[in-house]
Amino acid sequence: MKRSFKKIITFLCLLTASLLAFSGCSTGEDGKKNYSLNESTFFLVMSNMLYFPEQYLGASIDLDCFVYEVEDAVTGEQYSCGVRKCSSGYGCTCGNDTVIGFILDYDGEIPAAKNQSADNGDKTWIHIAGSLESAEKVYVSVYAYQDGQQTENIEQIYFYRFRVDTLQEIDGTGLQYYVTK
C-alpha cells in the first residue's frame, strides 16, 4: 500500500511540475511554440531546457534577465550572457549557487554588465526575444569560488546559444534576481 501511495504522489508531483513548466507556453498563428518566461516559470522552463533542448528548437522565446559577462579561464574567449542566478547544480557546482541562461548572439549592442559579482538585483536588466540556435552546449571554463574567494580550481558551466531578435534594456525593479524551484 505504501508503495502504491508513493508512486501516486510521485506521479502527481511530476505532473504538477510539467504543467507549471509549460504554463508559459502557447502556440502562435504560425504554429510555432512561444515560451514567455516569467517569474514563476523561468527556473522550471530553463531547467527543462538544459536537459531537453531539442523540444525548444524553432520556438519563440522571450524573457527578462540580467547581462552577465564571462571569460573562459582557459581560452580567454569572452561571452555576453543573459542569466538569472539559481541553485548550484544547474551549471557549475563551484559554490552554493550559479547562473542559468544563454550566451547571447545579437547583431546590435548588448549593454554592459553592471554589478555582476554583487549578490543583489542591481544589475543591467534586459528583455530579450528570439530562439535557441542549436541543442549543442557551449562549455565555458571558470574559476571556482570558495567562501567568496576565487580559487585555482577550474570548473565548467554550460549554456546554449540564443539568437536574439530583439533586446530592450528594462528596469529590473520587482524582478527576481535569484530564481529556484
Is 95 a residue whose pLDDT tops 80?
no
Least confident segment among 6-10, 66-70, 140-144, 155-159: 6-10
Q: What is the DSSP string of 131-170?
A: EE--S--EEEEEEEEETTEEEEEEEEEEEEEEEEEEEEEE
Residue range 150-174: mean pLDDT, rounded: 93
Rounded to 5°, angle at Cα 137 from 135 and 140: 160
* 9 Cβ contact list (under 8 Å, min separation 6): none
Residues 25, 36: Cα–Cα separation, whole Å: 6
Phi-psi category of 154—alpha, beta or left, where left has phi over 0 and alpha has psi -120 to 50? beta
Residue 118: all three cell numbers together? 554583487
Residue range 87-106: mean pLDDT, rounded: 70
Q: Is there a contact between 151 and 145 (Cβ–Cβ < 8 Å)?
A: yes
Residues 120, 123: Cα–Cα separation, whole Å: 8
What was the pLDDT predicted at 101?
92
Q: Is there a contact between 127 and 61 (Cβ–Cβ < 8 Å)?
A: no
Residues 136, 44: Cα–Cα separation, whole Å: 20
What was the pLDDT predicted at 85?
85
